Amino acid sequence: MASLSIAAAEFAAVLVPQLTNHIGPTAVVVTAALAPVNWRGVVVGEVAQMIATLLKAAVIGALIAALFLMAPLPSYHAASSAQYALALGGLLTAYRLIYSTYAGWGLFGYFTEENADPGRTVPRAMAWGVLGVMALYLLMFAALGHALRVARLQGADFPALDAMTSKFGAVGAKVLAAAAFVIVLSCNHSNFIPGPRIAMAMGNARYAPRWLGRANAGGTPDLALLALALGSAALAATASYVLIFVLLGTLNMLLQVITDLAFFRLRRREPDLPRPFRALLYPWAPVLALVLDTGILIAVGFAEP
């Protein structure tokens, strides 16, 4: 919630340069604006997220189409392979960024209690969600490869911005910033929905203060939403996007190791529990996941203690 509020503020500053020196306060305003949308109830939050997701998909599709229709920019000479030699630190940093990007794939599971047929719909939502994001990333990469060529992509901090500004100048930068603002705002709104439900479940299970387990008349865990929004606003005020995003990736890896261990613990403790969510290739696939997640977390600890 905090990292995407900061990202939204940074894109807003491209559109309104007067905000450039006020990223932190602007990020707090973004957080404060998104929280009330879900406060009124589950239905309002659901409708808002569906509209935001459709708008986001349209914006991403339009950007991909524009890049494909763009005449390719002149290519640079390809850099030598030695310049881009692989290193463990670089691989781990890249992996954490990718991990953070896909980290929301399992959030559908937090809506099981609000779902009429979770055994069928939740696994399907997870699978289609991952495949959909993969498709968008591959399409975007192909579009950028067409517009910039691979040699230009190497080392580019923001390749889409390079393509748009090279073709359309300052107007292209503004258009891209507006598109990115819409995309980031939609992504951030989706974080305000599962987070409070995690806190509510913790409150009901006595792992957190019981008042977090309260839901209002609209079905929203309102006090949990308020607590998370306040905490996120405090983080957003720092305007430290890179630090928060990398920290997010590391904490997500730690969380995944804990989840992997909890999976095996639950299997042993409650073998007869109804399980509508099937674990394919059990136990070897979950064991492989545990080994990979643990190994990468340890490697990150050594590379960047």
- Per residue in 98-134, pLDDT (tens digit) is 777 777 788 888 888 778 888 888 888 888 988 988 8
Structure tokens at 105: 């794939």
Domain count across the chain: 1
In a domain, 287, yes or no: no
Structure tokens at 239: 């305007």
Q: How far apart are CA 25 and CA 243, in angstroms?
A: 17
In a domain, 251, yes or no: no
Splitting the chain (305 residues) into consecutive groups of 10 residues, what average pLDDT does each group show?
Answer: 92 91 94 89 87 89 89 62 61 74 79 82 88 89 84 74 81 87 89 89 93 90 94 93 82 89 94 81 92 87 77
3-state secondary structure of 275: coil
Supply the range of the domain harboring residue 60: 2-76+121-239
In a domain, 54, yes or no: yes
Q: What pLDDT is attached to residue 270?
A: 94
In a domain, 233, yes or no: yes
In a domain, 284, yes or no: no
3-state secondary structure of 19: helix
Q: What pLDDT is attached to residue 85?
A: 58
Report CA-CA distances (Å) from 211 to 78, 171, 208, 224, 231. Answer: 59, 49, 9, 8, 16
Q: What pLDDT is attached to residue 82?
A: 47
In a domain, 81, yes or no: no
The whole-model pTM stands at: 0.79
Burial code (b: 16+ CB inside 10 Å, e: under 16) for 224-258 equals: bbebbbeebbebbbebbbeebbbbbbbebbeebbe
Q: What pLDDT is attached to residue 23?
A: 94
Q: What pLDDT is attached to residue 81?
A: 47
In a domain, 297, yes or no: no
Q: How far apart are CA 154 and CA 33, in angstroms?
A: 37
Q: What pLDDT is attached to residue 9?
A: 94
Q: How far apart are CA 257 and CA 290, in angstroms?
A: 6
In a domain, 85, yes or no: no
